Amino acid sequence: MPQQKIPVGILGATGVVGQRFIQLLEAHPWFEVTWLAASDRSAGQSYGDAVRWRLKTPIPERVLHMPVSNAAPEGAPRVIFAALDAGIARDLEPQFAAAGCAVVSNSSAFRMHENVPLVVPEVNAGHIALIEKQCWRKQSGGYIVTNPNCSAIGLVVALAPLHQKFGIESLFVTTMQAVSGAGYPGVASLDILGNVIPYIAKEEEKMEEETRKLLGQLAGDRVEPATFRMTAHCNRVAVEDGHTESVSVKLQRKADADELIAAFNEFRSTPQELKLPLAPAQPIFYDATPDRPQPRFDVDRGNGMTVSVGRLRPCGVLDYKFTVLSHNTIRGAAGAAILNAELLKAQGFLS
Amino acid sequence: MPQQKIPVGILGATGVVGQRFIQLLEAHPWFEVTWLAASDRSAGQSYGDAVRWRLKTPIPERVLHMPVSNAAPEGAPRVIFAALDAGIARDLEPQFAAAGCAVVSNSSAFRMHENVPLVVPEVNAGHIALIEKQCWRKQSGGYIVTNPNCSAIGLVVALAPLHQKFGIESLFVTTMQAVSGAGYPGVASLDILGNVIPYIAKEEEKMEEETRKLLGQLAGDRVEPATFRMTAHCNRVAVEDGHTESVSVKLQRKADADELIAAFNEFRSTPQELKLPLAPAQPIFYDATPDRPQPRFDVDRGNGMTVSVGRLRPCGVLDYKFTVLSHNTIRGAAGAAILNAELLKAQGFLS
Amino acid sequence: MPQQKIPVGILGATGVVGQRFIQLLEAHPWFEVTWLAASDRSAGQSYGDAVRWRLKTPIPERVLHMPVSNAAPEGAPRVIFAALDAGIARDLEPQFAAAGCAVVSNSSAFRMHENVPLVVPEVNAGHIALIEKQCWRKQSGGYIVTNPNCSAIGLVVALAPLHQKFGIESLFVTTMQAVSGAGYPGVASLDILGNVIPYIAKEEEKMEEETRKLLGQLAGDRVEPATFRMTAHCNRVAVEDGHTESVSVKLQRKADADELIAAFNEFRSTPQELKLPLAPAQPIFYDATPDRPQPRFDVDRGNGMTVSVGRLRPCGVLDYKFTVLSHNTIRGAAGAAILNAELLKAQGFLS
Amino acid sequence: MPQQKIPVGILGATGVVGQRFIQLLEAHPWFEVTWLAASDRSAGQSYGDAVRWRLKTPIPERVLHMPVSNAAPEGAPRVIFAALDAGIARDLEPQFAAAGCAVVSNSSAFRMHENVPLVVPEVNAGHIALIEKQCWRKQSGGYIVTNPNCSAIGLVVALAPLHQKFGIESLFVTTMQAVSGAGYPGVASLDILGNVIPYIAKEEEKMEEETRKLLGQLAGDRVEPATFRMTAHCNRVAVEDGHTESVSVKLQRKADADELIAAFNEFRSTPQELKLPLAPAQPIFYDATPDRPQPRFDVDRGNGMTVSVGRLRPCGVLDYKFTVLSHNTIRGAAGAAILNAELLKAQGFLS
């Protein structure tokens, strides 16, 4: 007898990340989208009418005619994927958690909140335990779980095996981020054609604090952030999907380049052990080609869930430097949240 | 009585940098292009027929019908601007120097040679003295003077006042370089549209060694390179002109942000004192707008000779981080060489 | 004794076309910007604070600190350049005309109105006479004069000498239009990077009807539109400035290619005769290079006021085909309106 | 018992189209790549070393280590896909045909040759019969079959049902072609970033004559070309894959828009009847969305073999105008040739 799928809802279903949720949840073995919500402007319309679909695959037939609901907990299923702007998320996500929902959020609103787990399943699955500290959990069973910013997540996946094996001591990263990271309409073409924008509001702050929380230690009621020194330079470039990052790292324990490459390629973690549906077989792929990874060619590796690393070489200031590439709206947003929900399901938090 | 202009030749006149030489030397008060040379394939044609002109201003009328000569010293004037590939430069530039020419070169072939000055007039005008050590100088009067790589030059101009006032101790730079830096045809559109290429052959090595030589000290027969730690990550992006660089720096003497900004804005040097024709009134412009400098809007500042700096802020690993932008084929190539020639003229080395 | 400049105001001063007005009117010999108005959101701020400046030249110092007024006739000067969206123009422009202002408009709101002249000074300067039919002119002295859509104007300038000498019988045009034509923020980068959008709302209709009115005959109280057959296909491409158009034309009188090229190159008209300040010496430049004109290289010809034509060759359906390029925010918008105002001034309509 | 696959070779295997052949033939049910040939420069290397792979899917493992042979018939299999430049094809393809090979060519060299079929299986499958007129066929059994230029093929597929049902009388087309159509390295990034190039050498001539041959009638020994009037304007734009075309058409028999849309959507032909492996279920998809088709979103429809049509509306000069989009290296090159080979196989010409 086939198991029944878990009904899920999407908050912010018409945005760029909302669209990715719908695309990635189509034919998902565990979850089924039964409820879509968006701003008041869209509510009441069919999804097909409300959305300006910006993906290459067509809108799934089943979703096309689904009505868009108001963004309120009444009538919503118990599992909610949230793809809201931070300001709106700050108001709405607690309402859904208070109503008993598992809110699996891509927003930055509560990522740094002491009781809210900020999780990448390959990196810090154990931090999920923080949800037991949330007031909503105690009252209604609801809770909020978050994934990091799209620029932090590729970096953190790439760093995880290095941090486990050798210890990160200092970290330097410059990002070249795709326009889809800014949502839709997002970056105006007049701003980015033939250009680089060396600034993304609050991005560097998020990268730095989220990276430390993700690589930190759960210590009783809270996460003790990692203490390495870190700096981020964030830039926007004329790329559609895929954040490329130039990284330098100093390690606590010296290691040679082969050890690092092996650490990247051999890295497996909780999602692979649990065989979570969206988990890539290989979370990190080290590409030995001299001029890779590149967003145009490598962003879809592992269905957009594998992080590519390349160009490992000595660094004149820290120990090593290398390039990281990850898909910002799959591994860095919708796929990240779905993987979190799969982890929650596998660990019994969705029943 | 108007002074007669100095006749100059251009080696590699049909390439992207050769075209910039012609554009910038049109109406130059001191120099007049009288001789153009290019590969055997072009020799014998008129310049208008030989060149695939890639600039927005038209080919100067006077040059359009000028014949393209063979790249050999016979018949060449005594001042030669050289815009050759390194492999060719290695053969040809010494022939011209041996024939008595002042070879003002943009090539990398001899930049790191012990007796060859690598000069940015705002930064290390004194290094010009090295030409007296060259064998050709002693025999025929000829010599070679070089300017740095297009990615190094913007960085070095921006660092010069910091190094003078506060001392550089460590240096981290990630570049996002324009396609014109690769010449023509250079980067294929299939390689760069919607893409970032995290690799430019030998670029990181050049940036690191040239930066240290430029900021080094003349010590008798040679330059003692600066000893700070440095690392460069070089990337290519879909920008036509203008290299953007994310820089972090550690200083020997602590300074507050206002001191750094003042150091940038107040920096003046030999070219400004000598009122060299191509010297920008302000070599460095600090832009306080939060999201600048950007290549599309700022690359032509000071007719492409001013280096723009912005986004100065504390760095979590070193002391400060900021963004540098410079025009890679003007300040970073043809303009750099012309400024060197102007310096040579002002100091009596062209008579 | 120097003549005093005429004070002018700009309605919609913060938009892409408003910015071009400010850029082109800086140092204008006849006009001086003394009043800026924009939406309520901007009113009360200084221009420098209100605008998101998207041009390569800096904001003129004099304008930077000028206050932004409400978009109402009180306190406005008698000459108004209007760069408003059509919906807003429909309300506001008549208010200014009724208050006695000469409204020189770039909006589509009144272009096809029977009493409103739609003018390109090289093409149909005589149509200006229509303003005498406007009710406001009789009451307060005020009136509205318009210039065509940015996609129509390059076409019409290129056609003018052909229509005069040979007569247009049928006309086919496909446009490839720059993103600046859509204003700011305008086209989202996610919509246009690596893409062509084969649709611009109402653009084809505007091109077709405006072209016929511009090439029509003044007949008493109204313009008798030209009667040739015409069709337009309008597309958006990833170009910053410059509309490229593939044109086929059938002529009433047969002519050989040399006659057409001569007609393009020798075309001079009212603005050249009157030596209007913004008038290009040569309104149309025929470029004989096989692969020109191209927006990246040719858009700024004649300070953006010259229309480039190239690739004239026989057409298998009509008589000839060729390519037209014009700068959409200079010749096609702000420059067009200023040239109209210069014509009005030269003909005594601004006193 | 599983049928054995037919061994096939690829001439010009390292180019952009050669790569598409390898990608599309991976796991093909009828054909198996057993032989790769390229220029002398590549011969002797493994394919992985010789190629600069420019596709998003990885090089098939089986092909990676396959040796690259000299481009000569010795040792080649009996079915050859040819992706050569026209100049080289003119020499080499006859050598392979003379040696008894079925040469299924994407080159322009022999497309207009009287005895050589120029075929799109949905359009003129019957023209295949021309191979019986070829001298090689009589001598060795070998022959040459060609597919049209990448810009002609999407057009011709879209026109086929209109021509069959209503008759084409006149035809106007403006193309906006992707850079992959020019091969690799092909279009320099300095030529196309932020630009439109209104010229592609010989492209307009090819489109016009090939379209007429494809829609012509087999008449004994030769094809009687269609006699409608036609004109093509060809432009290059900054798009990676997908040629967009603005088309106007005059029909012999008047029809309303719904009839045309039905003709597009209901069109089925020989490849669908024969269930050829690469044949799309629906050769033409009419997209009723107002601003589609667009290359970024629609180019991969039907695995790149479906031609998209949209924006059907009345034309002021001819009868109707619409937009056509097709994938230039799949439907327009490698996929076209493979579909031709499948047709040959289904009709017994490969045994």
Q: Please report all neighbours of D, defined by 3+ CB atom pairs within 8 A.
A: A, B, C
Minimum CA–CA partner of C189 in chain D: D296
Residues B296, C56: C-beta atoms closer than 8 Å: yes
Minimum CA–CA partner of D197 in chain C: C294
Is A305 within 8 Å of A55 (Cβ atoms)?
no
Residue D309 token pair: 């049509």
Predicted pLDDT of residue A40:
85
Q: Is B16 near chain D, with CB under 8 Å?
A: yes
Residue A120 token pair: 């990448």
Identify whether residues D145 and D190 lie together within a single domain: no
**CA distance to B50, B90, B96, per residue, from B75 (Å):** 20, 20, 11
Taking the CA of residue A237 and the nearest CA in chain C, the distance in Å comes to: 11
Q: What is the ipTM of this complex?
A: 0.96
| Closest by CA position to B96, among listed B171, B35, B164, B22 | B35
- Interatomic CA distance for residues A296 and D240, integer angstroms: 10
* B41 part of a folded domain: yes
C-alpha radius of gyration, chain C, whole number: 19
pLDDT, one tens digit per residue, over B275-333 is 999 999 999 999 999 999 999 999 999 999 999 999 999 999 999 999 999 999 999 99
Which amino acid would we find at residue C284? I
Q: Is C300 near chain B, with CB under 8 Å?
A: yes
Identify whether residues C253 and C323 lie together within a single domain: yes
Q: Please report all neighbours of C, defined by 3+ CB atom pairs within 8 A.
A: A, B, D
Predicted pLDDT of residue C2:
54
pLDDT, one tens digit per residue, over D125-169 is 999 999 999 999 999 999 999 999 999 999 999 999 999 999 999
CATH code for the domain in which residue B132 is found: 3.40.50.720
Residues C300, B193: C-beta atoms closer than 8 Å: no
Chain B residues touching residue C300 (CB < 8 angstroms): 56
Identify whether residues D115 and D34 lie together within a single domain: yes
The dihedral sign for the CA sequence C299, C301, C304, C307: negative
* B80 part of a folded domain: yes
**CA distance to A171, A172, A216, C80, per residue, from A228 (Å):** 7, 11, 10, 60
pLDDT, one tens digit per residue, over C275-292 is 999 999 999 999 999 999
Taking the CA of residue D295 and the nearest CA in chain B, the distance in Å comes to: 14
Residues A192, C194: C-beta atoms closer than 8 Å: no
Domains: count for chain B: 2
CATH code for the domain in which residue C311 is found: 3.30.360.10
Q: Is D56 near chain C, with CB under 8 Å?
A: no
Identify whether residues B170 and B87 lie together within a single domain: no
HSE of B226 in the Cβ direction (CA atoms, 13 Å)? 25
For range C99-122, the mean pLDDT: 98
Of B232, B237, B323, the CB nearest to A176: B237
Q: Is B237 near chain D, with CB under 8 Å?
A: no
Residue B40 confidence class, pLDDT cut points 50, 70, 90: confident
Q: Is B194 near chain D, with CB under 8 Å?
A: yes
As a whole number, the mean pLDDT across chain B is 97
Residues 159 to 188 of A: which have CB under 8 A from any B CB? 170-172, 174, 176
* B1 part of a folded domain: no
Predicted pLDDT of residue C351:
79
Tell me how far the alpha carbon of residue C167 is from its chain's centroid. 23
Residues C189, A191: C-beta atoms closer than 8 Å: yes
Residues A194, B292: C-beta atoms closer than 8 Å: no
Of A194, A195, A231, the CB nearest to B317: A231
For range C45-54, the mean pLDDT: 95
Identify whether residues A75 and A215 lie together within a single domain: no
Residues B296, C194: C-beta atoms closer than 8 Å: no
Residues D240, B180: C-beta atoms closer than 8 Å: no
Q: Is B321 near chain D, with CB under 8 Å?
A: no
Residues A179, C193: C-beta atoms closer than 8 Å: yes
Model's pTM, two decimal places?
Answer: 0.97
Query: β-strands C217-219, C222-224: how paired?
Result: antiparallel
pLDDT, one tens digit per residue, over D51-87 is 999 999 999 999 999 999 999 999 999 999 999 999 9
* Angle at CA of residue C19, ends C14 and C22, nearest 5°: 115
Q: Is B53 near chain D, with CB under 8 Å?
A: no
* B81 part of a folded domain: yes
Could you say which residues of chain A have pLDDT below 70? 1-2
Taking the CA of residue A35 and the nearest CA in chain D, the distance in Å comes to: 25
Taking the CA of residue A55 and the nearest CA in chain C, the distance in Å comes to: 10
Taking the CA of residue D283 and the nearest CA in chain B, the distance in Å comes to: 27
Residues A323, B244: C-beta atoms closer than 8 Å: no
Identify whether residues A173 and A294 lie together within a single domain: yes
Expressed as residue numbers, the domain containing D175 is 150-327
Interface test with C, best of A16, A190, A192, A195 (most C CBs within 10 A): A190
* D351 part of a folded domain: no
Taking the CA of residue B45 and the nearest CA in chain A, the distance in Å comes to: 34
Predicted pLDDT of residue D1:
42
Taking the CA of residue A1 and the nearest CA in chain D, the distance in Å comes to: 34
Chain C residues touching residue D194 (CB < 8 angstroms): 238-240, 295-296
Identify whether residues D139 and D172 lie together within a single domain: no
Q: Which residues 6+ apart lie within 8 Å of C40 measured at CB? A: C70
Chain A residues touching residue D55 (CB < 8 angstroms): 297
pLDDT at D221 over 90: no
Identify whether residues D154 and D139 lie together within a single domain: no
Residues B56, C300: C-beta atoms closer than 8 Å: yes
Taking the CA of residue B174 and the nearest CA in chain D, the distance in Å comes to: 22
Predicted pLDDT of residue C1:
42
* A1 part of a folded domain: no
Residue C298 token pair: 């040719």
Identify whether residues B46 and B97 lie together within a single domain: yes
Q: Is D196 near chain B, with CB under 8 Å?
A: no
pLDDT at D281 over 60: yes
Identify whether residues A88 and A174 lie together within a single domain: no
The position carrying tokens 């970056």 is A187
For range B16-43, the mean pLDDT: 95
Of B185, B194, B239, the CB nearest to D188: B185
Among the listed residues B101, B127, B150, B234, the single catalytic one is B150
Task: Write out chain B in H/E/C secondary structure.
Answer: CCCCCEEEEEECCCCHHHHHHHHHHCCCCCEEEEEEECCCCCCCCEHHHHCCCCCCCCCCHHHHCCEEECCCCCCCCCEEEECCCHHHHHHHHHHHHHCCCEEEECCCCCCCCCCCCECCHHHHHHHHHHHHHCHHHHHCCCEEEECCCHHHHHHHHHHHHHHHHCCEEEEEEEEEECHHHHCCCCCEHHHHCCCEECCCCCHHHHHHHHHHHHCCEEECCEEECCCCEEEEEEEEECCCCCEEEEEEEEECCCCCHHHHHHHHHHCCCHHHHCCCCCCCCCCEEEECCCCCCCHHHHCCHHHHCCEEEEEEEECCCCCEEEEEEECCCHHHHHHHHHHHHHHHHHCCCCC
Q: Is A248 near chain B, with CB under 8 Å?
A: yes
Which amino acid would we find at residue D111? R
Residues D297, A56: C-beta atoms closer than 8 Å: yes
pLDDT, one tens digit per residue, over D262-279 is 999 999 999 999 999 999
The percent of residues in chain D predicted with pLDDT above 90, rounded, is 97
* Angle at CA of residue C169, ends C163 and C174, nearest 5°: 90
Q: Is D54 near chain B, with CB under 8 Å?
A: yes
- Interatomic CA distance for residues B165 and D190, integer angstroms: 40
Interface test with B, best of D51, D55, D189 (most B CBs within 10 A): D189
Identify whether residues D107 and D161 lie together within a single domain: no
pLDDT at C79 over 50: yes
Residues C56, B297: C-beta atoms closer than 8 Å: yes
Minimum CA–CA partner of D53 in chain B: B191
* A150 is annotated as an active-site residue: yes
Chain B residues touching residue C296 (CB < 8 angstroms): 56, 240
- Interatomic CA distance for residues A155 and A171, integer angstroms: 10
Predicted pLDDT of residue A288:
96
Residue B2 confidence class, pLDDT cut points 50, 70, 90: low
Q: Is B314 near chain D, with CB under 8 Å?
A: no
Q: CB burial class (10 A; 0-12, 13-18, 19+) of residue C133?
A: middle
Q: Is A221 near chain C, with CB under 8 Å?
A: no
Is A121 within 8 Å of A339 (Cβ atoms)?
yes
Minimum CA–CA partner of C246 in chain D: D233
Identify whether residues B169 and B266 lie together within a single domain: yes
For range D184-203, the mean pLDDT: 97
Q: Please report all neighbours of A, defined by 3+ CB atom pairs within 8 A.
A: B, C, D
Among the listed residues A101, A127, A150, A327, the single catalytic one is A150
* A297 part of a folded domain: yes
Of D16, D180, D240, the CB nearest to B194: D240
* C1 part of a folded domain: no
pLDDT at D220 over 90: no
Residues D196, C294: C-beta atoms closer than 8 Å: yes
Predicted pLDDT of residue D2:
54
As a whole number, the mean pLDDT across chain A is 97
Taking the CA of residue B78 and the nearest CA in chain A, the distance in Å comes to: 39
Q: Is B194 near chain C, with CB under 8 Å?
A: yes
